[in-house]
Amino acid sequence: MVFNSNRSKANCATGRNRGAPTRLLHIFLSTLCSLAFVVSVPLKVQAQTNSAEEAKAAGPGNRGRIGMKQMKRASKDFSHIDEDSDGKISPAEWRRRGNFELLDKDGDGYLSEDEMSRLYFAGRRGKVLQPIVPGTTPEMDDSVQTDHVAVSKLDSETYCSVTREPRCSMGISSNLGLLETGIGPVFPKQANCLGIDDYYAMSYSHKRSSAAAVHGGMDIPAPQGTPILAVAAGTVVGKFAGQNSQRGIEIVLRHSPEDTGRPFWTYTQYAHLSEMPAHVIGQRVRRGEVIGLTGSTGIDASSKAESTHRRPAIHFAVWFSLQREFAEEDGVIIPVKSQWMDPNAIYRNGPPYDSKSLKALPDGEKSVSIPVMFIDGTTQPADTKLIWPYTCARQ
């Protein structure tokens, strides 16, 4: 039994003021009050001790820190990932989510449900000690206006690939890169980074009514309000409230080849934000600049109402194109002649970048070294133009 000291005091006071109780009742109530006070104090101290221990992300202690929503999510995901139902997740089952060794605390080569739940325990990861903020007069990119073209300028394949409207064939999106590649992130050894739960192009048939549904990006869970960083310098080309979208509040950046060091134009999407960013269309952002806060906004796929069960996370998606023009329709940015990109692929130091070629790579070439920004604002490598969308803590 756990006593609440405030409630106990209130009940004791009520007992003393009720009529003329017998001496025996007085003694009983006084004893009960004393016991309640004595028991409640050590419990409070123990709670403080547990909180400090949990800050070290120790095993089952996660359950008191990440919340019931995340624990339900962890249990549901565990049963889905554990394909052979043996009560543990192998590296093969974990696939391309990253951080396997970091999560495998007992080093047995498998993940238990408790170890997997650490994915939702961020600790200091994701914090920013010295955030990059825009100046009082932000730099603007006027080319956004001239590069914003009408939807009629899009070919039907590009339009259907990005919007994935019901009337469009899912095969079009797959042909233009929305397919599993098998690549995955590897973080620097001294970096403690937030990893992936729902990976790129994974089947969403267990979440959607359509058996052909796949995930158009990757999800990185983080505590509500965790700062989200621009993965490279770029320009804001889209901001959407998402009242009728599963993505919720989102912001979209366009990156030139000079911004990323890649030989094409890149578009990065950051969704499920907790609130609308202050940035405006055409505003330039710097690599590592805070462009939003982690949230869980977006409608439920089945009820079409605002979701109440989604865990806080960023939905991170990427497209690339040899052309700089883009269109917009119904809250969707559609780059001209674009392809989907596995978000991990943007961090590769060289080609291939397209999904079909990445899928064909031998297993030994499917690990992608991720450049990161640490909490103090330093990066690894020091001269990188690209970073993970959350900061990492040093081990």
Q: What is the pLDDT of residues 375-391, one digit of tens each?
A: 999 999 999 999 999 99
Residue with tokens 């990253």: 98
pLDDT band at 272 (very low <50, low <70, confident <90, very high): very high
pTM for the model: 0.80
At a CB cut-off of 8 Å and minimum separation 6, what does 129 contact?
375, 376, 377
8-state DSSP, 84? T
Q: Where is pLDDT greater, at 147 or 103?
A: 147
Of 97-101, 116-120, 289-293, 328-332, least confident by mean pLDDT is 116-120
Q: Place 66 in a pLDDT band, splitting at 50, 70 and 90.
A: low
Q: What topology is assigned to 62-120 in CATH? A: Recoverin; domain 1 (1.10.238)
143-394 and 62-120 share a CATH fold? no
- Going from N- to C-terminal start, the domains of the chain cover 5-54, 62-120, 143-394
User: Cis peptide before 352, with omega less than 30 degrees from 0?
Assistant: yes
Average pLDDT over residues 190-201: 92
- The residues facing 379 across adjacent strands are 373
Q: Which CATH class is domain 143-394?
A: mainly beta
* Residue 89 CB-density burial (10 A; 0-12 exposed, 13-18 middle, 19+ buried): buried
Per-residue pLDDT reduced to its tens digit, 285-313: 999 999 999 999 999 877 778 877 788 99
